[in-house]
A and B are shown apart, each in its own frame.
Chain A
């Protein structure tokens, strides 16, 4: 009996080592009351059972290995936040399974939260009126971080960023960049296995963005922390993520590495043409459909061209294409085609 439980425990243990997060066919529906207009309508709403169901996440399966940095992308309202909320244990999935660090998050929210860190860009979770160092001390107590580990973590922070200027500053007096930096440091303080970063660089200047990216990279490398990064900034993705997952309308539409992404929808290139009046015209060209030379020749017949440039498509353009494609395929109901393509891509 004893032996059996021990083995079982060990099995779970090995599973923990491999995957930080496992999601199997996860769906999340929200019930929303159909509201009626006017005073009469709102009185009716009080007693109404007239709900409509909205599925925010549809059948998403995902495995994230320990130490990975994942870019979790999708247009606004695609279901990114809902997924994150399920992973952090705030929301319970309608169906499907989630395991985070070997725990079912919504069942053991408190236990789960000991081993994760969360940063929501622009929403500080620190004590507004306290100097950063005092927030750190409180977090140390809340997470019961041993003194030695705490000191080591502060040392690591010092080696990665210049924290001295912000350490004794109350959070309310900080700039947005300093606050984001502080929030990220606070999220890593108890050495969590997974850190969720929701738009960490939103609204920041270029140099601060770079600073924050290198900090995340450094912490990931040093502590082998799994990082789930949601962002609309492709600079973040290019700098940090090897693998990206794209979700749209609640469905996973892409899950692979960044290199793959660029060849995903045919071979695209950006053609830039400089006209006689020194203005640049930009066009994304699908080389499977039209030839770059043909386009240039056609243009040349119309007007004088001073210069041309041919560029690799940027991540930003590819993502835009994927979003557009996904929207188009929904309209034409040719979902199966994309699904097949997706299969290919994920293999």
Chain B
């Protein structure tokens, strides 16, 4: 009889619960992805090519300008590697944002509202993009290469700072993409918003002190691209004169992420789910 469900103890779903669920989905997902080998190989090659072409552009640029605003080749390379690593989480874990507008428009999105778990989590957990891992490897390689040439000492403190500020940087990019994707709950042309935001990430590879006036304020506080690599990386590159914004970055990162999450969920609650 149905009595069993009625006396069920009050279920609690904490952080540990979500980590466990995510791990299980991830393992299953990877297993099934491995079984489509051709798809896996081709998308990996595609990712390597994309990164290589970005890298070549970068080299050509530096052949012509030996330094940008006082940043030499290796520092720029450091920034480049840093940004690649920082962009990995958004690529790997939050890639389903790109499908959001299709699911919202077709009405398929409703299925995420029927489970007793967080809608945002459930939606994001559905896609893990393996291609991000190639980018990660590329980023780590570039970063280590630049690191050695600049001669930054390797101490536990520096490593801890690196990890903290990489996480901070990725939070900003995740926040930007969440907010951009969530616009689809209100407007039809949200695809453009996402593409533009995703293009903006290319600016993250340059020191944001090359921007002036309005753009600097725009890329710092409105669309916080400057936080995706520039400010966090200064914590490692500069031994003194670290800007205040760098130290504020972790807290700001959490704040931006939280706001983007709230915006995303607001979209869900305002969405009419019209059509059957």
Contacts and interface: CB of A to CB of B under 8 A. Distances in A.
A191 B4 CA distance: 9
Contact of A109 (B1, B5, B108, B113): B113
A342 B5 CA distance: 37
Contact of A113 (B1, B116, B276): B116
Interface stretch (B24-32, B131-139, B226-234): B24-32
Contacts of A144: 11
A186 B75 CA distance: 54
Contact of B110 (A85, A192, A223): A85
Given A88-B114, A90-B273, A113-B115, A193 B5 contact: yes
Interface in B250-276: 272-276
A280 interface: no
Interface stretch (A122-130, A208-216, A238-246): A122-130
A111 B114 contact: no
B114 A125 contact: yes
Given A80-B276, A129-B33, A114 B116 contact: yes
Interface in B1-27: 1-2, 4-6, 11, 20-21, 24-25
B269 to A, nearest CB: 9
Nearest to A114: B116
B126 interface: yes
Interface in B107-131: 108, 110-111, 113-117, 126
A118 interface: yes
Contacts of B24: 137-138, 141
A66 B2 CA distance: 10
Interface string A114-140: 111010100101010110001001100
A152 to B, nearest CB: 10
A249 to B, nearest CB: 15
A74 to B, nearest CB: 11
A197 to B, nearest CB: 13
A115 B276 contact: no
B170 to A, nearest CB: 26
A265 interface: no
A191 B5 CA distance: 7
A149 B272 CA distance: 36
Contacts of B2: 66, 191, 193, 223-225
Contact of B20 (A85, A127, A141): A141
A16 interface: yes
Nearest to B12: A144
A110 B119 CA distance: 10
Interface string A60-100: 00000010000000000000110001001111000000000
B4 to A, nearest CB: 7
Interface string A141-167: 111100001000000000000000000
Given A114-B116, A130-B32, A142-B21, A120 B110 contact: yes
A30 interface: yes
B32 A125 contact: no
A170 interface: yes
A343 B199 CA distance: 63
Nearest to A149: B4
A198 interface: yes
A276 B126 CA distance: 63
Contacts of A120: 110-111
Given A91-B273, A114-B11, A142 B4 contact: no
A142 B28 contact: no
A332 B272 CA distance: 32
Contacts of A141: 20-21, 24
Contacts of A88: 113-114
Nearest to B107: A123
A193 B4 CA distance: 10
Contacts of B126: 127
Nearest to B33: A129
A170 B115 contact: no
A325 to B, nearest CB: 24
A90 B25 CA distance: 25
A115 B113 CA distance: 13
Contact of B273 (A85, A115, A127, A191): A85
Contact of B116 (A129, A130, A143): A143
A111 B13 CA distance: 11
B3 to A, nearest CB: 9
Contacts of A89: 113
B21 A90 contact: no
B273 A142 contact: no
Contacts of B275: 81
A92 to B, nearest CB: 9
A90 B274 CA distance: 11
A30 B274 contact: yes
A116 B114 contact: yes
Interface of A: 16, 30, 66, 80-81, 85, 88-91, 109-111, 113-116, 118, 120, 123, 125, 127, 129-130, 134, 137-138, 141-144, 149, 170, 190-193, 198, 223-225
27 contacts: A16-B6, A66-B2, A81-B275, A85-B273, A88-B114, A110-B117, A113-B113, A113-B114, A113-B115, A114-B116, A115-B5, A116-B114, A118-B111, A118-B114, A120-B110, A127-B126, A129-B28, A134-B28, A141-B21, A142-B21, A144-B11, A190-B5, A191-B4, A191-B5, A193-B6, A223-B2, A224-B1
Given A142-B117, A191-B5, A223-B2, 17 more contacts: A66-B2, A85-B273, A88-B114, A90-B113, A90-B114, A90-B273, A109-B113, A114-B116, A127-B29, A129-B28, A130-B29, A134-B28, A138-B24, A170-B32, A191-B2, A192-B5, A198-B276
